[in-house]
A and B are shown apart, each in its own frame.
Chain A
Amino acid sequence: MDSVLEVKDINKSYISRRKKIQAVKGVSFQIYKGECVGLIGESGCGKSTIAKMIARLEAVDSGKIFLDGNDITNARGRTLREVYKLVQMVFQAPAESFNPRFKLGEGIMESIINQGISRRKAKVRVGEYLEMCGLTKEFADRYPHEVSGGECQRASIARAIAIKPKLLICDEATSALDVTVQAQILKLMGQLKKEMDMTYLLISHDIALVQEICDRVLVMYQGQVIEEGTPNEIIMNPQHEYTKKMIDAVFEISL
């Protein structure tokens, strides 16, 4: 199998109150083409830091990141811009990730135009991507505050896939949405995985959700990956004390 992403022994620390805090400690993993990998753990365990390092929004302290076999750890200039194209992120708060003074269509169109495609053609493409994400092309003319949270999150997925990334990182992409909308977004993600062979890194703390959609799960605790396996392996046979605690903490509807 082709590895889309390989992370090798990455470390990251921050200075807070003159104390060094090790946010990510020696994390290594791979994601293969067409795979959906879940990254779960409590808040503050380093999940989002990893996402930011992969998307090259944060620099690593040490370690290497390979995208499609190319070392992107210290990519600069033109190569870095290429990385930004290949890795896209969908954030937790959809409305905040759009410019409030731009129509949704403008926000989605930007990346397409940056590829050197004319405005007119880009506009048509925006319509197509919006429809792919379950919206109509009229949504391109709306402002972020004029649409609901679920609609806005669909638009942000449309924006992310519009430049055909190799890897889509979803950082708590559904946790701000209610369950019915969440179910629709998950369906859309599954559909894109099938149709476009999309590769995902899905950050969440909802184990049930991860079980529904992911092929493989990494459990993080205090900056380290403590467990790895298929969702069923992790849920039915957790090895680490923390994983057990996390699974027990979920409020279930026992039917």
Chain B
Amino acid sequence: MQKSLFEMCNVEISYNGESVVHDVSLKLKPSEILGIVGESGSGKSTLIKAAMGLLGNYGEISKGDIFYKENNLLNIKPEALRKMRGPEMGMIFQNCASALCPIRTIGNQLYEMMVQHNQRNKKEIMNMAIDLFQKMNLDGRRILESYPFELSGGMNQRVGIVMAMMLKPNLLFADEPTSDLDVIAQAQVVDVLIKLRNEFGTAIIIVTHNIGLVSYMADKVAVMRQGHFVEYGDVKDVIYNPREDYTKRLIEVVPKIRKE
């Protein structure tokens, strides 16, 4: 049996003393993809923010443990955790545009990020980025020269995805990475994510409300509602054979293309 890369044990998360995520446990092996689906406000984003140590001043993990490679993340000092964010655990935010500095070019910011993680060969870095942009159907040279406000929401989103991928993390958290993108761009991003997994063995936790996307790319899926895991298991069991009424309803309301 393979060792688990990432594990959450009976985690409870509270904001201002009020618990919003209750008793969540999950396990992830290297190169495994877990999809977390559910309504807005069900605690999906909170869960991955907790794993990254990004809950802010008012949030805390009030119960349970989070392990990454057998280290309990709750006992790791903030400085050490900061070093892990990026090359070990990466994150793609829902709104990447707001994570970028508005008065510096994308290329400049991307290079700074790589320097922070001790990679200094500018030419190599830029070529790698251009190559990644190419895979998502964007002209990398133009993007790198641009400022965030000169790009569309979808383009900025893909900048965030490229930045997270550049460091080839072992574990990647993606919070609604494609909800700003049109269907074709979305399919390209998903293909790049799957490639990342196949080439580098990256494990991915993807939060989304696109159930079709989860059924396409994920190995496991968790359905979340009001801070609980309603159902958690293999994609084929949960999506094609849901046990809970809530899961059934969630799948039912997704508009589906009828081809007959």
Question: CA of A249 to CA of B254 in the docked complex: distance in angstroms?
Answer: 16
The answer to whether B184 touches A179, judged by C-beta atoms less than 8 angstroms apart, is no
The answer to whether A43 touches B253, judged by C-beta atoms less than 8 angstroms apart, is no
Please indicate the chain A residues that have their CB under 8 angstroms from the CB of B102 in the complex: none
Interface string of B246-260 (1 = CB under 8 A from A): 000111011111111
Q: Interface on A for B, CB 8 Å cutoff?
A: 41-44, 148-149, 175-183, 186, 205-209, 211-212, 232, 235-236, 245-247, 249-255
The answer to whether B250 touches A251, judged by C-beta atoms less than 8 angstroms apart, is no
Q: Interface on B for A, CB 8 Å cutoff?
A: 39-41, 152-154, 179, 181-187, 190, 209-213, 215-216, 239-240, 249-251, 253-260
Question: CA of A181 to CA of B249 in the docked complex: distance in angstroms?
Answer: 12
Question: CA of A152 to CA of B40 in the docked complex: distance in angstroms?
Answer: 14
The answer to whether A235 touches B258, judged by C-beta atoms less than 8 angstroms apart, is yes
Q: How far is the CB of B112 from chain A (nearest CB, A)?
A: 24
In the complex with contacts A43-B154, A179-B253, A251-B39 CB distance below 8 A:
no
9 smallest beta-carbon distances between A and B, as pairs = A251-B212, A208-B255, A249-B187, A183-B253, A205-B182, A42-B182, A249-B183, A178-B209, A251-B216
The answer to whether B210 touches A251, judged by C-beta atoms less than 8 angstroms apart, is yes
The answer to whether B257 touches A181, judged by C-beta atoms less than 8 angstroms apart, is no
The answer to whether A209 touches B183, judged by C-beta atoms less than 8 angstroms apart, is no
The answer to whether A175 touches B179, judged by C-beta atoms less than 8 angstroms apart, is yes
Question: CA of A183 to CA of B185 in the docked complex: distance in angstroms?
Answer: 24
The answer to whether B184 touches A178, judged by C-beta atoms less than 8 angstroms apart, is no
Select which of A180, A245, A247 is within 8 A of B250 by beta carbon.
A180
Q: How far is the CB of B250 from chain A (nearest CB, A)?
A: 7
Question: CA of A43 to CA of B179 in the docked complex: distance in angstroms?
Answer: 12
A-B contact pairs, 9 of them (CB 8 A): A42-B184, A43-B154, A179-B39, A179-B254, A249-B184, A252-B212, A252-B257, A253-B212, A253-B215
In the complex with contacts A43-B154, A251-B210, A182-B253 CB distance below 8 A:
yes
Please indicate the chain A residues that have their CB under 8 angstroms from the CB of B213 in the complex: 251
In the complex with contacts A148-B40, A181-B39, A205-B183, A211-B215 CB distance below 8 A:
no
The answer to whether B255 touches A212, judged by C-beta atoms less than 8 angstroms apart, is yes
Interface centre among A183, A245, A253 (most CB of B within 10 A): A253
The answer to whether B258 touches A253, judged by C-beta atoms less than 8 angstroms apart, is no
In the complex with contacts A43-B153, A179-B211, A236-B259 CB distance below 8 A:
yes
Please indicate the chain B residues that have their CB under 8 angstroms from the CB of A175 in the complex: 179
Select which of A179, A186, A235, A251 is within 8 A of B215 by beta carbon.
A251
Question: CA of A41 to CA of B154 in the docked complex: distance in angstroms?
Answer: 14
Q: How far is the CB of B212 from chain A (nearest CB, A)?
A: 3
The answer to whether B185 touches A180, judged by C-beta atoms less than 8 angstroms apart, is no
